[in-house]
A and B are shown apart, each in its own frame.
Chain A
Amino acid sequence: MSTLVTLPVLLPMLGAGLTVITSRSATLQRLIGIAVLIAVAVLAAVLLVAADRTGPIVAEMGGWAAPVGIALVADRLAALLLLVSTLVTLAVLVYSIDQRVADYGRETPSTTFHPMYLLLCTGVSLAYLTGDLFTLFVAFEIMLSASYVLITRRTSASRIRSGMTYVTVSLTSSLLFLTMVALVYAATGTVNLADLAAQVGELPDGLRTVLALLVVVVFGIKAAVVPLHFWLPDSYPNAPSPVTALFAGLLTKVGLYALLRTQTLVFPQDGSKTLLLWLAVATMVVGALGALAQNDLNRLLSFLLVSHIGYMLFGIAVFDVAGIAGTVLYIVHHITVQATLFLVSGLITRRTGTVSIDRMGGLAKTAPALAVLFAVPALTLAGIPPTSGFVAKLALLQAGAGSGVATAAVAGVVVASSLLTLYAMARVWVRVFWGTPQPPLSDPDPTDELVVGTGSTPRPMVAAAGSLAAVSVAIAVAAGPLSAVTGRAAEDLLDRGPYRTAVLGEEAR
């Protein structure tokens, strides 16, 4: 079983190498990418079932037992997020392949796209699975450097410039991350998370707070928590839609996952509850207001992404089983729906030739399939029942309501920003799908890879985006077993015992 834990990291890495070798054959490249991701998805499902039945599964890398060596740990949380993330990466990959086939024909290979895509998946898998703070840093580096290439790849100069914001801010946060790792190591002499759980507890309170807050800042940047979110709406909207979908769905969520993991395992609530509550409020409100101020569809969605990060932060701040379980459920839901929305936005832009919602109109008449495909994730994001967004939001509201007046008040903010989300979505609906149909605008930059303004929507791309929307419907249908798993995952996270025992052996108890 423990070999299986390494495969979600190794397979995409191997696949990346193979796609470099096969860069002359477009078909082979595509098959490798899809096959690898399907395999990882299956593995993640197996790991989830196994971890749910028997507890965390640990792989000791190089045969060195933790804390000397690096441990990869698949517990319920890691396996669940890995599964959902891989389903999303798979759908996005299929979408971008369809896009390329539609625009450039079946035979045109892509030299950098496939290797970078799979390396990004490698980084994501490693981030979820690693039980080691430094390896987490490495995972982020793999993920982010692959993302730098994807965001600046084959695009116009102005987009490269906006990519610079992303790269510089990410590098800054990586530098802070590295500083944090160094400080933690200097204080405790270990970087193994399970070991840190005990060692950090022995540090003086003040110092523990310093480290805990530094962790909040570092992962807060990655997760785009207000006021550390600026970079996101300035950079994401400028990438091609599959890349944006991938980033929006996954990267911020990996940051949030890291925050959740460290907050529960290493720094259980070191004086950060009030702070996290305030940050959650600021994130929800600023993000939602930002979305209302936008005319650019992608920017609007990016701000909504920021807003909903606040929801997940809220669950972490509540910090009981209900809160953590709510956050995990929300992450699962949000990864899927946010990626779907960006894919659909890509389809809309492709058809209309613009991202400006003022210049669109009447799409419900000219492209009813697109209207349905937008409506489902839009209602999901707004948390309208019976979608997955409603289930996840309900879990968070219950956590807030059951944990005192302060959190109940923040639950009120959750509800308010839900309304603003719905308003933003209604505005998109009114301007883009209602009204008189507009002819497609011509491609503003025909030299870049992105082909827009075609006035048509290729079926395979619709199918790919639709399959992702179907995943989010499936999340709602399977809310029963899913919320049970997230509940158990949350109990484990707060208990810390099962994780530590699995990594360090019985004496860690």
Chain B
Amino acid sequence: MLALVAAHLALAGLLPLLSARSHRAAFLVGALLPAGALVWGLANAARALGDGVTETTSWAPALGLSFSFRLDALGLVMLVLVAGLGALILAYSAWYFGPDSPEAARSAALLLAFAGAMLGLVLADDLLTLYVFWELTSIASFLLVGQGGEDRASRRAAVQALLVTVFGGLAMLLGFVLLGEAAGTYRISELLAEPPRGPMVGAALVLVLIGAFTKSAQLPFHPWLPAAMVAPTPVSAYLHAASMVQAGVYLVARLSPAFAGLALWWVPVVVAGLGTMLVGGWHALHETDLKRLLAFGTVSQLGFLMVLFGGGGRFGDVTALAGMAMLLAHGLFKASLFLVVGILDKRAGGRDVRELSGVGRALPGLAVMSVLATASMAGLPPLLGFVGKEAAFEAFLDGGGTPGLLIALGLLAGSVLTVAYSARFLWGAFASKPGVAAAQPQRPEAGLTVPAWLPALGGLALGLAYPLVDTLARGYAAAYPPTGAEYHLALWHGPGLPLLFSALAVALGAGLHRLREPVTAMHRRLRTPVSAQRAYELTVAGVERVAVLVTGRIQVGSLPTYLAVILTAVLLLPGTALVLGTTLPDEQVLYHAPMQVPLGVFVLIAALGLVRARRRFTAVLLVGVIGYGIGGLFVVDGAPDLALAQFLVETLTLVVFVLVLRRLPAHFREARSPRRVALPKALIAIAGGAMVASSAVVVSGARQQAVSDVSREYIRLAPEGAGAYNVVNAILVDFRALDTVGEITVLLIAAAGTASLVLATRYDRHRAERVISGSGGPEHEEEVLG
């Protein structure tokens, strides 16, 4: 199965080469692979309904990462949708995109890559494998919605789709990891066999549901889906109706057998699903753009599916049977309807219900096909949608108690809306409207109509061949607790509440369509201040505002501030630990030799003077004084060689400084800092010094041996091993010679760096017209240094 997925991705990489010659050929070649996948899936259907077909390829075992796949009943249904509709939509695209379409080459490759990722997603038997493909579909969706990103609407829609779905995806990833850590495995089949429990699992499930809700556009994350309708119609049909957006539902369906018994799982799913079904249906009633109408319809149907799959543990296996039938039905009718909209858009000049008129008369074939698909959507017999809806009502009405009845009533209301917007779709697309000029559509070629006909006919065929669907659905529903009486998907169960509900839905829905004008007027008056789209925009804008605010406060661009923060960090972290956690050694002497006192005072005074100095020359001199004072301390401590080195360095530095000073202004140019700045600076500096000094005292007091083992070894080894009687020398040039080499290197680097700066600057001054610049191109440097 990995090979199948990889083949999609690999061919997608090659398709642009083919597209350069012929877009149509690229789409058709691309369509072959999903078609092959479909054939493979159907050939393995028997095994899938039995033990399932499994395959595992290891990736990073230490992290539990592998590509594990499993084809079972649920996987097979999704595969039929993903691969079957994928092949049809790719073939349709071959005629949809014109020969000069700039979007064709990109879309061909991305659609095929998406098909591969989607295939991986629905076949995954491992949470992490599933996540890998999940995010790939989000990225593909971003690129397909945005296309070339030429207009603002598509850019915004693409970013919104990306942010919302990846937000959910990342939450889901964390949920998966928590789940995997709790269970000790990421294999879905093992998780289902032995579901983990515990407080972490609760958090994990909530996170996973966020992922499912965002992907399947559930309340309150749904606005990205209608916004994504700016994409080319084949993209909308495939990603945003038939496959990707079903992924969230699929995930819930996948995990429900293990967790549907937990209220934490089924209650949010059912509540969000019902809410989404109603809100989506309500909005669909008022859209004038046929694509957006269908998009809200999709939102609504996804809510319906959520209810069916989420309720499985609580309300028994019939919900699962209904869910499987509806999953299949929805993919088929929705793909067909989107393809119809694409044809209208291309051949009838638009998709706005206010502008389309008389299309039904001009293109009766298309109208018949649309009636077939919408009938399935509205739940009319003998189509698959009817079979599913009957089972859904049955599931919640039979033995569901009060919650079941409430859910069934909710579903009834949702179904009424569904029937109403189905009618609106047909009316909007095909009716002859008074006052609107009749469209003069071109005849669509078979390449466009055949891919639309097939799923519509599929809905009819599967409705009639309901035992087949029943077998398939049963393969999945077996994982749930059985309800009392055995139920089979069928077209006729005899009169009863479910049939009454179905009939009511159709009757009320038709009535609602008839009353469309007053209803739309009411909708307009009901403009709620709270909208999910607005919430999304506010969140994004809010994050950006916070980002600017925080960054502006923190990144002030002032070097003194940065240094102050560093010193403060030293004071706050090790400084606090020093004050709270350590004590000064008991025997503390202020000085070892009397000479240390005047020398110390001398250094301190020089340091204070340095801070106050305004003349560069004074400052340089005082730096020298401090250095000599420290050298003096070395002498007192009995280290004349160190002192000598110190004096030499100080003298040399002083000389160099004086030479440099000739070229600089005599006084520092910066104004004295005001008191409110100077005081904190002084405090931080003094505290920093005090902290380092007291650390030194504490640290020396903590030492266990006066002369450490290493020092003793140095003293022992210096004469006999290194042939040196000066231990310091032996350390510098023998024991730790590498450090010395390193420090010499540093010195050389500093010299080279300074030379390159100074020489380059001098060269610049030479060329008067380039004074501002620090240096020039490499040819200057060569002239200067070479």
Contact = CB atoms under 8 A, between A and B. Distances in A.
B699, B743, B749: most-surrounded residue (chain A CB, <10 A): B749
A188 B738 CA distance: 22
Interface in A400-421: 401-402, 408, 411-412, 415-416, 418-420
Given A189-B710, A213-B574, A422-B166, A448 B775 contact: yes
B63 A395 contact: yes
Given A172-B566, A385-B132, A206 B581 contact: yes
Interface in B159-188: 159, 162-163, 166-167, 170-171, 173-174, 177-178, 180-181
Interface stretch (B404-412, B640-648, B701-709): B701-709
Contact of B702 (A187, A379, A482): A187
Interface stretch (A141-149, A252-260, A492-500): A141-149
A157 interface: yes
A459 B702 CA distance: 62
B135 interface: yes
Interface in A419-443: 419-420, 422-423, 426-427, 430, 433-436
B142, B546, B774: most-surrounded residue (chain A CB, <10 A): B774
A190 B709 contact: yes
Interface stretch (A62-70, A76-84, A344-352): A62-70
A433 B146 CA distance: 11
Given A68-B735, A111-B782, A447 B174 contact: no
Nearest to B775: A154
A30 to B, nearest CB: 13
Contacts of A173: 566
B734 interface: yes
B60 A479 contact: yes
Contacts of B756: 111-112, 149, 153-154
A474 interface: no
Contact of B554 (A165, A286, A390, A412): A286
Contact of A100 (B166, B714, B778): B778
Contact of B555 (A202, A206, A290): A290
A186 B703 contact: yes
Contact of B739 (A135, A145, A192, A390): A135
B58 interface: yes
Interface stretch (B147-155, B446-454, B593-601): B147-155
Interface string B772-786: 111111110110011
Contacts of A146: 749
B562 A397 contact: no
Contacts of A138: 738-739, 742-743, 746
A153 B155 CA distance: 41
A182, A202, A422: most-surrounded residue (chain B CB, <10 A): A422
B578, B699, B709: most-surrounded residue (chain A CB, <10 A): B699
Interface stretch (B380-388, B481-489, B690-698): B690-698
B782 A228 contact: no
Nearest to A70: B738
Contacts of A156: 772-774
Contacts of A209: 574, 577, 581
Interface in B554-571: 554-557, 559, 561-563, 565-566, 569-570
A21 interface: no
B173 A116 contact: no
A207 B560 CA distance: 30
A106 interface: no
A210 B582 contact: yes
Nearest to A417: B170
A227 B573 CA distance: 12
A412 B174 CA distance: 7
A290 B551 contact: yes
B504 interface: no
B653 to A, nearest CB: 16
B150 A293 contact: no
A463 interface: no
B581 A207 contact: yes
A227 B546 CA distance: 17
A206 B577 contact: yes
Interface residues of A, number: 129
A505 interface: no
A109 interface: yes
A186 B697 CA distance: 9
A386 to B, nearest CB: 5
B746 A292 contact: no
Nearest to A104: B778
Interface in A216-239: 216-217, 220-221, 227-228, 230-231, 233-234
Nearest to A487: B62
A108 B782 CA distance: 9
B170 A62 contact: no
Contact of A139 (B181, B704, B742, B749): B742
B784 to A, nearest CB: 9
Contacts of B559: 164-165, 168-169
Contact of A109 (B721, B772, B782): B782
B564 to A, nearest CB: 11
Interface string B670-710: 00000000000000000000001001101110111101111
Interface in B376-410: none
A29 interface: no
Contacts of B738: 61-62, 70, 135, 138
A205 B582 CA distance: 8
A211 interface: yes
A464 interface: no
A187 B61 CA distance: 44
B563, B570, B717: most-surrounded residue (chain A CB, <10 A): B570
A214 B776 contact: no
A94 interface: no
Contact of A210 (B177, B581, B709, B778): B581
A233 B555 contact: yes
B445 interface: no
A413 B698 CA distance: 39
A385 B131 contact: yes
A145 to B, nearest CB: 4
A303 to B, nearest CB: 8
A116 B562 CA distance: 27
B563 A210 contact: no
B177 to A, nearest CB: 5
A479 B59 contact: yes
B566 A397 contact: no
Given A139-B742, A275-B573, A418-B170, A154 B543 contact: no
Contacts of A145: 746, 749-750, 753
Contacts of A183: 695-696, 699
A445 interface: yes
Contacts of B695: 183, 210
B562 A165 contact: yes
A155 interface: yes
A230 B565 contact: yes
A176 B562 contact: no
A88 B218 CA distance: 45
A227 B700 CA distance: 31
A154 B149 contact: no
B711 A227 contact: no
Contact of B786 (A111, A192, A395): A111
Interface in A102-147: 104, 108-112, 115-116, 119, 122, 126, 134-135, 138-139, 141-142, 145-146
5 closest A-B pairs by beta carbon, nearest first, are: A189-B708, A434-B149, A206-B581, A149-B753, A138-B742
Given A138-B746, A401-B174, A480-B58, 19 more contacts: A110-B778, A122-B745, A134-B739, A135-B736, A135-B742, A164-B559, A182-B696, A189-B705, A204-B702, A210-B582, A213-B573, A384-B135, A385-B135, A390-B132, A390-B135, A398-B180, A426-B163, A434-B149, A484-B61
13 contacts: A104-B778, A108-B779, A145-B749, A154-B760, A156-B773, A188-B703, A214-B574, A220-B569, A289-B547, A292-B544, A292-B547, A386-B136, A398-B181
